[in-house]
Structure 1
């Protein structure tokens, strides 16, 4: 099983490409499982044509890194249909590819590519349970600015809670400040000092255990390694050339904006200067240059402002050209040029293979292996599916089962919409029960496209076929044919009998009928499984970061201890089918031995019954809801609880508390609730809420299809 790691930039121009390449190289050399020799899958969240990492992987690293194409979140609105489609695509890819690759590495979206980048990156990471690495820089060099940056990260993590967060990389390699009279040499010395102070800060924090996040790496500027060449600045500014011979080998250490008042500064700097020269100052500079200055100190000259023509400019600049100094110009003003230079980055695409390898080695040497090679402990391996993963799993399992699910309420608009979408998504094979002409006319009036391949059965043509079977099942009630015929005029009863007779695999109903109208025929005709006479229900509550199961919230009014135990066991079986690990909380108004009374004793007895019947299950009860969902409260109220504040299944002591809670959570939090899914019947029949949305109906159809496997 592969790991999924996502690199998320907190700022623009933080060197995501360099970090990504270094991490890919690191994981290729430091496999977290030595027996795995599978390649790495790389996914960029922006168009591959815009992604520098993709270009370099294709160029140098295709032997062990495969690239996924056509994922582009640039300029897409958060929550739009296109956005949701892309999210679902990533989930599907990760689900299908996780056995083929040792590592799925995702490079997140930068803020300059999409203003919703923080929300999008957070949504992607939590939807696929990715391990998250944040990457940032420090744009002012002082101890206070470092503290400010740490505070910003803490605030960011409070706003965007990641399910699996590894730590932060501070990358100073790709950030430079090119401003008036700023010496690179002084800056580098200052950075080295800050780096040492940073190390001390980290050590102190670790000793007193107050750091809220791990620091994976602090990558300092390296003057000898990350030299700025004139050619880099020339290409970055997209400047107009006047004379550009030898720019590939000239480096820049200092940037000076020339004016007649700062001539003395030029005399003090020995070499590697980029001079930004306004056209209005060129005559003064030429006089100064020809009389007092050593030309070999200048790496290049950037002319700014308006000029008459290229020919005229070359003529004026002959003194520089004759001395072999590269000259280029921009029509922008100095403020605009400086602003752009502050966002300068190293264009790795033009670098040769040797340089890239050197870069990877340098950067990865700062990685804290302890944090990057994390392998989850056994106690932390339980599955918390994200809502989108869960919904994708529903669709995938239903798609694979290819079961026929009958929908007796075929004159309801939402049912027709759901049937149409199920066909398009290949989720189950919906069977509509009703008059074909009436159904098609209704669909046409509502703008619903019903594919001709969707099966429609006219109930008037098949009722007689089920008369004998209905009378046989209900013979203990001494019913006659007239009564049976009247009963079978109810499409829900007819559809239930079709399920019982194996004509279809399951039924979904209740969008316009009561729960009793759906469940009573199922109990009378399909009946319960041989192992239990109890039918119960569960709801799947799709919280922002995980899926919880609530039961029983629809069927049993005041279950006994034995019935509560049966509900818990049934719910754990349903959870297993859908990939959710069973961690059962038997809910009560008290936790452990803190309370007493008939209801508490009932829950305590039910918990004991489950432990005897299914000792393999993780269960605790009686327990209060807060202690079942919060690690902090669990430590206070129930420190020995096996749930550790992370329950996935919640069994309510009665229908009153269960129904109220599920609806309160659903409506107050505005989250999707799928269900009720009925448990304990010999064949699957599921009830819909009369307030169900089309999406709810689709997922209930998928659940029913999965139950029929």
Structure 2
């Protein structure tokens, strides 16, 4: 590279400071701005290093994640007096990596092992050799408020004494009740100081980590998840009644394999609301449950608790479990969400970026776009309703959104079933509200919604008795929440058809002024940019007027998500080279768009290759402002649009976010019934951003057009 990259050195001042959590937060922050972040460790535990794997996998770094030496290599070189050689090797390895990066996060050594007494001095020297500014992480656990503040001041002085450029000091793992007092003591200090409270979940091993460490064998997976933090473990040596009295939430139960009573009791406790939910059961002694018990387990395939077995005896098993440390790995989605939520809530990220003088790249990767969505949603939280509250994917997505504090949520459906599903998949929904439209608790709200529905549909002969029945449907209930302002947006469709999801919106939310048709777009995140494809989900065979509507709505959607709209009205013909009904319809639609809204460039008819490829565009339409640089692609019909977005998604490995509905007075968005948890999270974030825009610019006419 012509200019050296920005380099940030992350150094722990004491052991167990929670450096991994801060490293994850910084990588997330940098990856939102640029698409060529690097990750470097001067000393690691080799290719199996869990933090190296986390960064490489989560941020798709490939060769942009590397290290200089293993711990064993450094120990051997120090023993031989080759200290300068160590530093030279680190510089060489770092510079090789830096050639392909605009910013590199350097994660220092771990304050453990034989070198721990020299660790601070060692990291300071490495940071100086690499020309990096330092973010120092101080462990605030178990200290008084004054001691924590003093640690920050001493750290700043020590780094200054070493001649190190210090960007920030992060006081991590501070007791929650002391956070405000510590902030007050350090309010006007330099360098920038962040105070992050302790969160016990981050120090807990997950069940998966324990099972992997012990090389356990699956007996019964059930519907449970192994990505759940284990708070502690207990050996079930007592009788079943006494064991049940001593189960705590998220505990791992260790029992000999010939204790079927313990196994059956643990399974039953997960089905009952009267006992806490254990994380799982680990059977010791290499004893497989009796055939009758196995048959029982097979018949209870939906029981939400994992059961595994190990060959070691109970004592050795308990000892091995106690030695498993909690770390953040690439598969620890719950921990990652918790860590990022803490970092984003308690660190002034804009001020921190200013310290690094980091500018945003013009390129936009899928990861960057998704992070921007989350960041924008978090900045001004909105209330989103999820009508399919009992769906496992919805429950998992809701838990992630709550952990990241992206939105406020209401889940609809049987409250008991929602809680049972959350228990089954091992997530916490305590931050969400839950409403069962059919329950007595919701009777007053349902009646209010029914009255509003009668008012909106009286021209169609709607009466109160029928309206009360309709409002028992979660899609209608959720949409009415949005319509009346009890929620800012709705996301549904994981378990319902598109028609079921959006029909209520057509009936009473209706379209925005100046918009006659509800349409949709997909946000197509390619390797280096984000494009808008419409309509790919709603209008099968649009007229010229509908195509014009789709184009203008799509341009507005593009602007909402930071994409400069350059609109291509697609056809099998470019310019005046073709004729016929289909081409003429696109030509007429383009004329309508230009007449109604001259604020953005539009071209049509134009072929896809001429719209996206500068070389082809120059040949086919040399004088066009759109050819070769289109960002918004309007397809001539649903058949073309739906097939094209799927072809690009699969063949170009693009991330397709949507469909995003547009044209409605209030944001309501549809999910695919094959959606993944990540799709739900993205769609909720999109809906929240749409709600922010709607509230910033409320519709002039709340009635809009009646689409039914």
**TM-score (norm. length: structure 2):** 0.51
How far does residue 432 in structure 1 lie from its aligned partner after superposition?
0.8
- Corresponding residue for residue 378 of structure 2: 399
- Corresponding residue for residue 450 of structure 1: 429
Aligned partners of 1:394, 1:446: CA distance in 2, in Å? Answer: 26
665 and 448 in structure 1: CA distance in 2 versus 1, 3 angstrom threshold: same
How far does residue 465 in structure 1 lie from its aligned partner after superposition?
2.4
- Corresponding residue for residue 400 of structure 2: 421
- Corresponding residue for residue 520 of structure 2: 537
What SS is found at the alignment partner of 1:554?
coil
| Number of residue-to-residue matches in the alignment | 399
RMSD over equivalenced CA pairs, Å? 4.1
How far does residue 478 in structure 1 lie from its aligned partner after superposition?
1.3
Contact 2:493 2:672 in 1 (8 A): yes
How far does residue 386 in structure 1 lie from its aligned partner after superposition?
2.4
Aligned partners of 2:615, 2:647: CA distance in 1, in Å? Answer: 24
Aligned partners of 2:130, 2:491: CA distance in 1, in Å? Answer: 56
How far does residue 649 in structure 1 lie from its aligned partner after superposition?
0.9
Contact 2:573 2:607 in 1 (8 A): yes
Please point out which of 582, 585, 589 is paired with 1:599: 582
| Further displaced range: 421-430 or 663-672 | 663-672
| Further displaced range: 612-621 or 525-534 | 612-621
Cα deviation per residue 1:134-192 (whole Å; 9 max; x = unaligned)?
Answer: xxxxxxxxxxxxxxxxxxxxxxxxx999xxxxxxxxxxxxxxxxxxxxxxxxxxxxxxx
**Are 1:388 and 2:367 counterparts?**
yes
Cα deviation per residue 1:659-685 (whole Å; 9 max; x = unaligned)?
Answer: 111122223344321111111111111
**Residue correspondence of structure 1 range 153-232 to structure 2 within 5 A:** none
What SS is found at the alignment partner of 1:497?
helix
How far does residue 446 in structure 1 lie from its aligned partner after superposition?
2.0
How far does residue 495 in structure 1 lie from its aligned partner after superposition?
1.1
Cα deviation per residue 1:80-103 (whole Å; 9 max; x = unaligned)?
Answer: x999865423135x49xxxxxxxx
**Residue correspondence of structure 1 range 155-554 to structure 2 within 5 A:** 236=84, 384-451=363-430, 453-460=431-438, 461=442, 462-554=445-537
Aligned partners of 1:685, 1:437: CA distance in 2, in Å? Answer: 26
Contact 1:570 1:679 in 2 (8 A): yes
- Corresponding residue for residue 366 of structure 1: none
**Are 1:43 and 2:4 counterparts?**
no
624 and 507 in structure 1: CA distance in 2 versus 1, 3 angstrom threshold: same
How far does residue 119 in structure 1 lie from its aligned partner after superposition?
13
How far does residue 404 in structure 1 lie from its aligned partner after superposition?
0.8
| Further displaced range: 525-534 or 460-469 | 460-469
Please point out which of 11, 30, 51 is paired with 1:90: 30
List alignment gaps of at least 5 residues for structure 1. 1-6, 9-18, 24-41, 51-68, 73-80, 96-103, 128-158, 162-232, 239-344, 351-355, 357-380
- Corresponding residue for residue 642 of structure 1: 625
646 and 689 in structure 1: CA distance in 2 versus 1, 3 angstrom threshold: same
Cα deviation per residue 1:13-54 (whole Å; 9 max; x = unaligned)?
Answer: xxxxxx84xx9xxxxxxxxxxxxxxxxxx434x65699xxxx
Aligned partners of 1:698, 1:635: CA distance in 2, in Å? Answer: 39
List alignment gaps of at least 5 residues for structure 2. 65-80, 87-125, 132-162, 164-359, 693-708
The structure having more radius of gyration, on CA atoms, is 1
Cα deviation per residue 1:417-439 (whole Å; 9 max; x = unaligned)?
Answer: 11111111111111111232221
**TM-score (norm. length: structure 1):** 0.50
How far does residue 636 in structure 1 lie from its aligned partner after superposition?
2.3
644 and 84 in structure 1: CA distance in 2 versus 1, 3 angstrom threshold: farther
623 and 119 in structure 1: CA distance in 2 versus 1, 3 angstrom threshold: farther
115 and 545 in structure 1: CA distance in 2 versus 1, 3 angstrom threshold: farther
Aligned partners of 1:499, 1:654: CA distance in 2, in Å? Answer: 30
Aligned partners of 1:108, 1:688: CA distance in 2, in Å? Answer: 35
| Further displaced range: 656-665 or 480-489 | 480-489
Contact 1:557 1:655 in 2 (8 A): yes
384 and 524 in structure 1: CA distance in 2 versus 1, 3 angstrom threshold: farther
Cα deviation per residue 1:551-573 (whole Å; 9 max; x = unaligned)?
Answer: 01111111111221111111111
Contact 2:554 2:632 in 1 (8 A): yes
Aligned partners of 2:42, 2:632: CA distance in 1, in Å? Answer: 38
Aligned partners of 2:543, 2:42: CA distance in 1, in Å? Answer: 56
- Corresponding residue for residue 583 of structure 1: 566
Contact 1:591 1:621 in 2 (8 A): yes
